[in-house]
A and B are shown apart, each in its own frame.
Chain A
Amino acid sequence: MPIKRLFVANRGEIALRIVGAAQALNIETVVAVSDADRDSAAARLADRSIVLGPAAAAKSYLDPRLIVHAAKESGCDGLHPGYGFLSERAILPRLCAQHGIAFVGPEPDVIDALGDKLRARAMAGAAGVPLVPGSECVASAADARREGDRIGYPVLLKASAGGGGRGMVIANNGDEAEAGFHKASAEAVAAFGDGTLFMERFVPEARHVEVQLMGDGKGQVLHFGERDCSVQRRYQKLIEEAPCAAMPDHLRRQLHESAVALAASVNYRNAGTAEFLFDVQRQEFYFIEVNARIQVEHPVSEAITGFDLVQEQIRIAGGADLSVSQQDVKISGHAIECRINAEDAARDFLPSPGRITRWEPPQGPGIRLDSHMSAGAMIPPFYDSMVGKLIVHGSDRADAIARLADAIDNFVVEGVPTTLPLHRAIIAHPDFIENRIHTRWLEQVLLPDYGKKAA
């Protein structure tokens, strides 16, 4: 049954995005807010807003019982979780199901399975998706050398009980694999009381690529092309592009097929993203994980396909079939998104809440801004620092970069520091222009110099 009144269990730009998508479908909206977000842009645009609790997320946006209670008592028959917060916690769709509310996302059991890295990896393997070449448990230094020779160097020795980098050693050859075995094993015993190790291939300069998926839960799964999200700082994406210009077409086809096969194998429903590591030197890709939600960077896929993913999410949650077929999904041009964070790059990216005093975004063809900000808006200190996403669409990558440079140059923000100047520096860098970046490029190449100039 199509959703008639949608509850938005999120905040910030994505809450506004979801309200807009619902309104385009003539669906009423109720937005959940915390005490700090009473006057948010999404709350103003929606038909109704409901204050869940105090500013602290744990007592508002992260309490599934408060959210489902508010949704049910306000007469909502659908709930969109956005991204972050509770979007990938199976408890939310389970409570929704108990109370007759359609959840805009996958089945809770699928969320649980994909959220468990080992199960997700096993599912990917079973669906024929390439995994990072690796070993079972290695029992001795000789084993480590043999496995290292088989996998191909450099390799990573990892504690199976591990985490946080402890018990982790990189080996570039057989001798280092043997020595690394002793070191990593000793560290693992000390840290976790368990010296069991396994090995996997280490890709020093990898790209992060991901495939946008949409399933109807009835066996049909489509992809909307891939994105390249290799500009990262501390595993946080800063710039996302679509398509991945560094990937040749034959590999791109395999990537899409792998992602669709994995989603189809669990009869995936609604939007999801399969993330991969792309080893450019070897021209291979390996599965990382599936994110069972809409992602921050979905607009670049929308830009190159001309398709509204959030509207499709809402339709599918209301029981509709996919509104297009795979051959209707045509990729056109190149899109780039940069995440505008209220952070001070000169102070090691310290988040900087406060009041926006001037907010004059650029306008023009091929420019899209997803943001809940305006002049006078307050950025509260309780949530993440993203204040918007600037998306440009051009005929090719060079055109998109030129448009983005213009757009940033014409974007006036005052009141709080943002990452816009950093984005301007990134897209002016020869490595970015020539597309020679990888996931550690920003931290290894650009930021050391950028810090000096800013200081």
Chain B
Amino acid sequence: MTGHDFPDALKQLLDEFSRSGIRELHIRKSDFELYLSSDASAARPRAAMTVVAPVSASPTQPAATPKPIAAPIAPISSLPDDAVIINAPNLGTFYRAPKPGAANYVEVGSKVQAGDELCLIEVMKLFTAVRAGTSGTVHAVLVEDGAMVEGGQPLFALVRD
């Protein structure tokens, strides 16, 4: 695959796939294999190249991980207007407890003070504690324990007291 045509052709195909709304598209050509699916639960085939849609077609998109990013458990729109959303500071795995088997930092209904730890985000062995920016009550936990989250993804909804 030489020259600049390949990324262009691929980008056009990805754009068209995203717009089409179809379920899957699969190309195999000698050693080259491309599988596109809008079904995030589809298991990956053994493939030279796998893209799980929806994706940005930009080849510089960071952190397009093989594992689909977790979908929120509850839609953000269903939260109360005064809810404070706590977002992930960076991409990583979301852990609700300080270590395996330990109690979760918080549950729905827990009262928290500003600065209290809510969860850990782990990326490449670096654990970052996510803290409450305000005191209040945990209204919703928006991601499943152990899921991969993106930077800026909503994790918790708090309601101020």
Contacts and interface: CB of A to CB of B under 8 A. Distances in A.
Is any CB of A less than 8 Å from a CB of B in the complex? Answer: yes
Interface of A: 35-36, 38-39, 55-56, 342, 350-355, 357, 376, 378, 380-385, 414-416
Nearest to A38: B46
B48 A353 contact: no
A381 B126 contact: no
Nearest to B128: A350
26 contacts: A35-B44, A38-B44, A39-B48, A55-B66, A55-B67, A56-B93, A350-B90, A350-B123, A350-B126, A351-B123, A352-B62, A353-B65, A353-B91, A355-B59, A355-B61, A355-B62, A357-B60, A378-B64, A378-B65, A378-B66, A380-B66, A381-B63, A381-B65, A381-B91, A381-B92, A414-B60
Contacts of B126: 350-351, 385
Contacts of B26: none
B124 interface: yes
**10 nearest A-B residue pairs (beta carbon):** A354-B62, A351-B124, A385-B124, A354-B63, A351-B123, A381-B123, A353-B63, A351-B126, A36-B66, A357-B60
A352 to B, nearest CB: 7
Nearest to A54: B67
Contacts of B93: 56, 381-382
A412 B113 CA distance: 46
A354 B58 CA distance: 12
Interface string B65-81: 11100000000000000
Contacts, number: 69
A371 B32 CA distance: 24
Contacts of A380: 65-66
B131 to A, nearest CB: 16
B139 to A, nearest CB: 28
Interface residues of B, number: 23
Interface of B: 44, 46-48, 59-67, 90-93, 123-126, 146, 148
Contacts of A385: 124-126
A309 to B, nearest CB: 25
Contacts of A381: 63, 65, 91-93, 123-124, 148
Q: What is the predominant secondary structure among interface residues of chain B facing chain A?
A: loop
B62 A415 contact: yes
B60 A415 contact: yes
B1 to A, nearest CB: 10
Given A350-B90, A355-B59, A357-B60, 12 more contacts: A39-B47, A56-B93, A351-B123, A351-B126, A353-B91, A376-B59, A378-B64, A378-B66, A381-B65, A382-B93, A384-B125, A416-B62
A47 to B, nearest CB: 16
A415 B63 CA distance: 10
A415 B124 CA distance: 17
Nearest to B126: A351
A17 B112 CA distance: 49
A35 B44 CA distance: 9
Given A357-B60, A381-B93, A381-B148, A35 B66 contact: yes
A378 B91 CA distance: 15
Contacts of B146: 56
A82 to B, nearest CB: 16
B151 to A, nearest CB: 10
A39 B45 CA distance: 11
B67 A384 contact: no
A353 to B, nearest CB: 5
B59 A353 contact: no
A355 B64 CA distance: 7
Contacts of B46: 38
B77 to A, nearest CB: 28
A360 B64 CA distance: 22
Nearest to A355: B64
A52 B93 CA distance: 20
Nearest to A416: B62
Contacts of B90: 350
A138 B47 CA distance: 64
A407 B66 CA distance: 32
A36 B44 CA distance: 10
A393 to B, nearest CB: 29
The residue in A35, A351, A385 that gathers the most chain B C-beta atoms within 10 A of its C-beta is A351
A35 B46 CA distance: 10
A384 to B, nearest CB: 6
B61 A353 contact: no
A111 B22 CA distance: 55
A56 B146 CA distance: 9
A416 to B, nearest CB: 7
Nearest to A350: B90
Contacts of A383: 124-125
Contacts of A56: 93, 146
Contacts of B61: 354-355
Contact of A357 (B59, B63, B91, B123): B59
Contacts of A382: 93, 124
A350 B63 CA distance: 13
B59 A384 contact: no
